[in-house]
Amino acid sequence: MSAIHLHNLVKKFGGFTALKTMDLMIEDGEFMALLGPSGCGKSTTMNMIAGMEDPTEGRILFGDRDMAGVPMGSRGVGFVFQNYAIFTNMTVRQNLAYGPKMHRRPQAEIDRRVGLIAELLQLTPMLDRRADRLSVNILQRVAIGRSAVMEPAIFLLDEPLSNVDAAFRAVMRTELKHLQRQFRQTMVYVTHDQLEAMTMADRIAVMDHGVLQQVGTPIEVYNNPANVFVAKFIGSPGMNLLPGRPAESDRGLVVDLGPLGATAPMPERLAGALRGHSGDVLLGFRPEQAVLAKDGRGIAAPISVVERIGARTIVHLGEGETTMKVVLDNDPHASFGASALVVPNMQAVRVFDRASGNAIGGAAHG
């Protein structure tokens, strides 16, 4: 069994708490991304799973085996870091074969494994090239291959793509997903790049300041962020968040957006939760879940920036805490300074308590 259970894990460095009581179950064969900004505790968590750091409190279980005191070499994990670790004086083939050779695997098995991994990672044409003649992109591929060839039941990757170029990163996202499907390893993947997590992971554990914020499938954390941090961190651009107050009106329960001069009628699933809520809220909607209109009901705001990025256009509206972004598939002929009406899809809106940042009514937890 290669499920990983992080049970109330805490890590302190002197007086500083890098990880605060993390409880996370990673299923056997699951691709879990640990996602969050720099310094949130992702690598610390990973290093404890690998056995490079000891937890201050809590337990790590692989299946039902407690890992306390089990050294890294005996945990059966493969680990790939941001900075590739390979032997530059060897060929790609020798690098890939190194681990199985050290474990005295039969030559026929080494050849089979090296051939398979080389094929999966598109390294076959360069198997006999010396590593010191290869680009950083290819070297990172070799580093991933060197770990993967050991066929570890648990595969840990810490920002493996952050040093490779953008085009190559897109190719590698697909290859890593293939690799994991092929071997069905339990994969834990550390990244600060929400796109990597969204495109590859079965589930994402979003972290901030040493605290696990939410665990869910990519679509759950995108559609139902548990709090304002997740709402802003997931998605590019992140979710729009407009300050307002719940109020009763002849249209039922609305969020009064104050200085924006608009009121947003709440769908039934939110109206109930908001009726019992006192205090300010933030109305959240994804930039992709709104359109621009010329007349009718909507949130009026001046257009401040129009970014045309190929097939999509990102229109920025308003200013300060009432800034909004709307992503449109078509070219809206929007121009700087013009006024537009932002019309969010009210069925998809979210509402957060302004003081705590937590979602009101129906955040998803996986």
Binding region for ligand ATP (CB under 6 A) = 13, 16, 18, 36, 38-44, 192
Give min distance, CB of 18 to ligand ATP, in A.
3
Residues 168 and 175 sit within 8 Å (Cβ to Cβ): no
Q: How far is the CB of 79 from ligand ATP (least distance, A)?
A: 14
Cite the DSSP H helix spans in the chain. Answer: 42-50, 92-102, 107-120, 136-148, 166-183, 194-200, 218-223, 228-233, 268-275
Nearer to ligand ATP, 205 or 341 (CB): 205
Cβ closest to ligand ATP, residue 13 vs residue 336: 13
The least CB distance from residue 81 to ligand ATP, in Å, is 11
Nearer to ligand ATP, 82 or 323 (CB): 82
Angle, helices 92-102/136-148, rounded to nearest 10 degrees: 20
Query: Toward ligand ATP, which CB reaches closer, 27 or 193?
Result: 193
- The pair of structure tokens assigned to 75 is 């945990």
Minimum CB distance to ligand ATP smaller for 43 or for 194: 43
Q: For ligand ATP, give the closer residue by CB, 36 or 160.
A: 36
Q: Nearest to residue 292, comparing CAs of 333, 232, 236?
A: 333
Which residues are registered as beta bridge partners of 204? 33, 216
Per the CB < 8 A criterion, the answer to whether 173 and 164 are in contact is no
Q: CB of 11: closest distance to ligand ATP in angstroms?
A: 8
Residue 49 beta carbon to ligand ATP: minimum distance, rounded to whole angstroms: 12
Whether the CB-CB separation of 291 and 328 falls below 8 Å is answered with yes
Question: Minimum CB separation from ligand ATP for residue 207, in Å?
Answer: 7
| CA–CA dist 239, 237 (Å, integer) | 7
DSSP 321: G
Rounded to whole angstroms, the Cα distance separating 97 from 344 reads 55
